[in-house]
Amino acid sequence: MYRLPSPRPHVLAALLLALPACGDSSEQNTSGSDSGTSQGSVTITATAGSDSDSGASLSGSDSDSSASTTAGTSGGTTADTTAGPGTSDTGTLTDGPKFDVGEMPDVGEQVDCECGNAGFSYIWIANSHESTVTKLNTETMAEEGRYLTRADANGDPSRTSVTISGRAVAVANRNGGVVKIWASEEFCDPDINGQPGVQTSTGMNDVLPWGQDDCVAWYSDMGHQRQRPVAWTAGVLNQISCEYEDEKLWTSGCSGAEDITVHLLDGATGDIEESVTITGFECGSYGAYGGAVDSQGNFWASSLTIPTSHLARVDFATMEVKLYEAPYAGYGITVDSLDRPWMASWTGNGNVTAMRFDPELEIFELATNFVANSMSGIQEDAEGRMWMNYWTHSAGGVTLRGLTYVDRDTLQVGPPIEITDAEVRGLSIDFDGNVWSTARFANTAYRYNPTTQQLDTYSLLNGPYTYSDMTGWALQTAECGIPQG
């Protein structure tokens, strides 16, 4: 696996700021931020804590374009917002240390915490046809659990998001509602189903009835008829326990012809903490189609509308909204390690493979030297390659569908890598650098190693339709930067 970085220099400065001033008897929680590849802010706490679609037909052009990049501008507009989330107390000292004794106070042993998750090895793939989600070991290719995502087994789940700690996954049902599931029995509640000990699924043929699986932490129903995006924030890294606390969850939904509503949930309970309606981001064509977070915990949501799409940003601290119009329709969305949102072009419309948005200049930059025609997820690996699927690729000579990538910095589209004759959509990266693709009609997940070119498959899924951050890798790169191999 990749070696994860320790907190960066600006994090050490944040640690010093978090200590009380001379003579202050209370703990002072100070958060800092940095841009680009920097890790999110860190706050010292005194105690250890725990985590308390579309089925359109293939279309688009396969013609080459001589230009490697083009740019389009789109001004942002500020929408009506609600008040931002309040700052939560993550461990205030009742008898705070005094700094008038000429030496450092005893606030607990500080250790060199690694940023992110050092050992998580699951990919969570929604089985849309049976309203379940599969927990698949990315190293052994063994399915170690399968869970219902809604009581009526009619959730039609799609997007999944994994916490930075790897302890839990959140799954959004396209028919409404979000569920949180623990990744390991040690975090599960043995009292949920009223029987002694922890009862939980062990595999695909062991799906427990709703309310009987002790590892299903909570379900939150927001009353939406259409609900797709789901994305965790990293939370706050406790420098004493090396655990992430105060994790939040973004989601969005709508019904009928209304505008979309974005929600920020308490990750421990599933309760809605803040909501904001984005005026002008219509519910038509599924509402917010995908979502991702940047290093500051801000939420980016995209639409699937023709011929252009919307891209919205919701500020984590203030819930302020900015709404942009993309020059072409997007499909999957991610945020790279430089805090730039990316959207894979819907079936290569406009002869564009992918769009990169610059939040500072507020412009869209386009990848056009080859056209990868697909409905695909998109995600960055440790080499700075934005991986996505293709159905056809304008490089020519392609007989199978498969994978390609866009260079994160140059926007150059890479060559086709043929893997299957099935329709591939889902896309994610695991912590060993493998590229995962899912084919919903073939009920198959493909694991491709870019270094060895080895391809492995798991074919016991049921309508796999996930192309969000299925492993937690994207959240880690946003929070921690690219790890060192």
3-state SS, 293-358, equals ECCCCCEEEEECCCCCEEEEEECCCCCCEEEEEECCCEEEEEECCCCCEEEEEHHHHHHCCEEEEE
Whether the CB-CB separation of 269 and 253 falls below 8 Å is answered with no
369 pLDDT exceeds 80? yes
222 pLDDT exceeds 80? yes
Interval 162-169 mean pLDDT: 95
3-state SS, one letter per residue, for 65-117: CCCCEEEEECCCEEECCCCCCCCCCCCCCCCCCCCCCCCCCCCCCCCCCCCCC
Q: What is the model's pLDDT at position 484?
A: 62
Q: How far apart are the first and last CA of the chain?
A: 8
Distance, CA of 244 to CA of 268 (rounded, Å): 12
One-letter amino acid at 376 equals S
Closest CA to 328 of 345, 347, 342, 353: 345
Q: What is the model's pLDDT at position 219?
A: 98
393 pLDDT exceeds 80? yes
Q: What is the model's pLDDT at position 302?
A: 97
Q: Which two tokens stand for residue 360?
A: 């500072």
CATH of 74-83+112-237+246-480, one of 2.60.40.10, 1.20.950.20, 2.130.10.10, 3.40.30.10: 2.130.10.10
Burial code of 361-386, b = ≥16 C-beta within 10 A, e = fewer?
A: eebbbbbbbbbbbbbbbbbbbbebbb
Count of helix runs (H) and strand runs (E) in the chain: 2, 33
Q: What is the model's pLDDT at position 407?
A: 98
Q: What is the model's pLDDT at position 258?
A: 87
One-letter amino acid at 271 equals D
Distance, CA of 400 to CA of 418 (rounded, Å): 5
Q: Which two tokens stand for residue 266?
A: 């308490």
Contacts of 78 (CB under 8 A, 6+ apart): 320, 321, 322
73-77, 248-252, 400-404, 480-484: least confidently modelled range: 73-77
pLDDT tens digits for range 374-386? 999 999 999 999 9
Interval 301-313 mean pLDDT: 92
Burial code of 109-119, b = ≥16 C-beta within 10 A, e = fewer?
A: eeeebbbbbbe
11 pLDDT exceeds 60? no
Q: Which residues pair with 238 in a beta bridge?
A: 243
286 pLDDT exceeds 60? yes
Interval 304-314 mean pLDDT: 91
Interval 430-447 mean pLDDT: 97
Interval 171-179 mean pLDDT: 97
Q: What is the model's pLDDT at position 121?
A: 87
319 pLDDT exceeds 60? yes
Distance, CA of 422 to CA of 439 (rounded, Å): 6
In the structure, what pLDDT confidence band is assigned to residue 346 with cuts at 50, 70 and 90? very high
In the structure, what pLDDT confidence band is assigned to residue 15 with cuts at 50, 70 and 90? very low
Element (H, E) at 288: strand 288-293
Q: What is the model's pLDDT at position 118?
A: 59
pLDDT tens digits for range 325-341? 999 999 999 999 999 99
pLDDT tens digits for range 87-138? 333 333 333 332 333 343 344 555 678 888 757 689 999 999 999 999 999 9
47-61, 415-429, 452-466: least confidently modelled range: 47-61
Distance, CA of 466 to CA of 444 (rounded, Å): 12
Q: What is the model's pLDDT at position 297?
A: 98
35 pLDDT exceeds 70? no
Distance, CA of 258 to CA of 281 (rounded, Å): 9
pTM confidence score? 0.80
- E strands along 184-287, which residues? 216-220, 226-232, 236-238, 243-245, 248-254, 259-266, 272-282
Distance, CA of 155 to CA of 442 (rounded, Å): 21
Distance, CA of 29 to CA of 91 (rounded, Å): 9
Interval 253-259 mean pLDDT: 90
Element (H, E) at 473: helix 473-480
Domain locations in the chain as residue ranges = 74-83+112-237+246-480
Q: What is the model's pLDDT at position 253?
A: 96
Name the more confident of 26 and 358: 358
Interval 431-436 mean pLDDT: 96
In the structure, what pLDDT confidence band is assigned to residue 195 with cuts at 50, 70 and 90? very high
Q: Which two tokens stand for residue 474?
A: 């994207």
Q: What is the model's pLDDT at position 247?
A: 97
119: left (phi over 0), alpha (psi -120 to 50) or beta: alpha
Q: What is the model's pLDDT at position 106?
A: 41
Length of the chain: 485
245 pLDDT exceeds 70? yes
Q: What is the model's pLDDT at position 114?
A: 86
Distance, CA of 199 to CA of 131 (rounded, Å): 20
Q: What is the model's pLDDT at position 306?
A: 84
Q: What is the model's pLDDT at position 54?
A: 40
Element (H, E) at 475: helix 473-480
Q: How many CB atoms lie within 10 A of CB 71?
A: 12
322 pLDDT exceeds 50? yes
60 pLDDT exceeds 70? no
8 pLDDT exceeds 70? no
Q: What is the model's pLDDT at position 124?
A: 98
% pLDDT > 70, the chain: 76
Distance, CA of 295 to CA of 338 (rounded, Å): 9
66 pLDDT exceeds 60? no
Name the more confident of 107 and 474: 474
What 3-state DSSP class applies to 480? helix
In the structure, what pLDDT confidence band is assigned to residue 26 with cuts at 50, 70 and 90? very low
189 pLDDT exceeds 70? yes
